[in-house]
Amino acid sequence: MTNPNLPQSGAPARRTLIAPSVLACDLTRLGDEVCAVDAAGVDWHHVDIMDGHFVPNLTFGPDIVMAIRRASEKPLDVHLMIEEPGRYAEEFIRAGASLLTFHIEALPEPRPLIDKIRKLGARPGLVIKPRTPAESVFPFLKEVDMVLVMTVEPGFTGQKFMPECVVKAAQIRREAGPQFDVEVDGGINEKTVRQVALAGANVIVAGAAIYRADDPRAAVQRIRDSLDQNIRWRDPVGG
Ligand code: DX5
Ligand code: ZN
């Protein structure tokens, strides 16, 4: 039986958005770098928060989020890769996070934090690592605004895209319907973006492909062009 809540094969998904990952920028020029990609027409800025425990790397605290907030008026998509996301959620929202995503692996019972993020005025989202099944977030799809499917092991920019994760973006798109944000993060460039777009992902994080390109503006445009050509959403899970 056809589910009327799902788009027919070939129907367009939600608007595609590009979110460069600040982690890949030249940190000696943080403000200028963010302003440059902002002017290149990106939709959000993606900010990776790592604690050295949940992932083997350390990055930014709320003060850096506040600095990025001053450099752009666009939504800040703050990705928490930390062991106790509930402990710092409020600080990151006060610092300017528009969306706050955290890993289901760090908090298997995520409802209280989802509610707290929403009450504090930000949009909550859940993240799954490459080995975590899509089904682990299905019980919470009505409560969150977005699911982020990692396409590398979280921790570092510039890693190789893992194509085996793409099917999970399709499973989540199928389960959540067309008006839901499905984000992908890790190893995305103008080539790999095709398969994630066809699977139904509509929020594209790209670090090295944008910030480490010779011309970030041209890199954003190449990803945008590739998205425009591959946006015909189809349903590779159900056929
Ligand atoms: C990885 C981070 C990503 C990373 C993406 O743990 O979550 O956001 O910065 O960088 P690229 O696009 O270079 O893989
Ligand atoms: Zn990220």
Strand segments (E) across 35-75: 45-50
- Residue 230: predicted pLDDT: 78
Predicted model pTM:
0.93
CA of 63 to the centre of ligand 1 (A): 20
Where is average pLDDT lowest: 6-20, 83-97, 151-165, 185-199?
6-20
Task: State the residue range of the domain holding 157.
Answer: 17-230
Q: 70-125, pLDDT tens digit by residue?
A: 999 999 999 999 999 999 999 999 999 999 999 999 999 999 999 999 999 999 99
Residue 7 within a domain:
no
Residue 173: alpha-carbon gap to chain centroid? 14
- Residue 2: predicted pLDDT: 39
Q: The CATH number of the domain where 136 resides is what?
A: 3.20.20.70
d(CA 5, CA 58): 41
Q: What number is the average pLDDT over the span 143-163?
A: 98
Q: Which ligand is nearest to the CA of 24?
A: 1
Residues 6 or more apart whose CB falls under 8 angstroms from that of 208 comprise 24, 157, 158, 189
What's the alpha-carbon Rg for the chain, to the nearest Å?
17
Residue 71 within a domain:
yes
Domain count, the chain: 1
- Residue 239: predicted pLDDT: 38
Answer yes or no: are the C-beta atoms of 190 and 222 closer than 8 Å. Answer: yes
Residue 1 within a domain:
no
Does pLDDT of 27 surpass 60?
yes
The two structure tokens encoding residue 11: 């129907």
Residue 2 within a domain:
no
Residues 6 or more apart whose CB falls under 8 angstroms from that of 163 comprise 192, 195
Per the listing, tokens 């919470």 go with 140
- Residue 229: predicted pLDDT: 84
Residue 10 within a domain:
no
d(CA 70, CA 100): 18
Does pLDDT of 8 surpass 50?
no
Q: What number is the average pLDDT over the span 127-150?
A: 98
- Probe residue for ligand 1, chosen from 105, 184, 185, 210 as the CB with the greatest number of ligand atoms within 8 Å: 185
The two structure tokens encoding residue 140: 């919470």
d(CA 236, CA 15): 19
Residue 184 within a domain:
yes
Residue 208 within a domain:
yes
Q: Which ligand is nearest to the CA of 99?
A: 2
Q: 179-201, pLDDT tens digit by residue?
A: 999 999 999 999 999 999 999 99
Does pLDDT of 207 surpass 80?
yes
- Residue 13: predicted pLDDT: 52
- Which atom from ligand 1 is nearest to the alpha carbon of 188? 12
Residue 5 within a domain:
no
d(CA 44, CA 72): 9
- Residue 233: predicted pLDDT: 52
Q: 36-81, pLDDT tens digit by residue?
A: 999 999 999 999 999 999 999 999 999 999 999 999 999 999 999 9
DSSP-assigned letters across all residues of 13-78: -SPPEEEEBGGGS-GGGHHHHHHHHHHTT-S-EEEEEEBSSSSS-B---HHHHHHHHHH--SPEEE
- Residue 15: predicted pLDDT: 81
CA of 22 to the centre of ligand 2 (A): 9
Angle at 42 between CA 202 and CA 119, to 5 degrees: 65
Name the nearest CA neighbour of 87 among 142, 49, 58, 59.
49
Its sign, for the CA torsion 188, 194, 195, 196, is positive
d(CA 56, CA 12): 38
Per the listing, tokens 């056809």 go with 2
Residues of the chain by 3-state class (helix, strand, coil), percent to 5: 40, 20, 45
Ranges of H-type helices in 21-61: 30-39
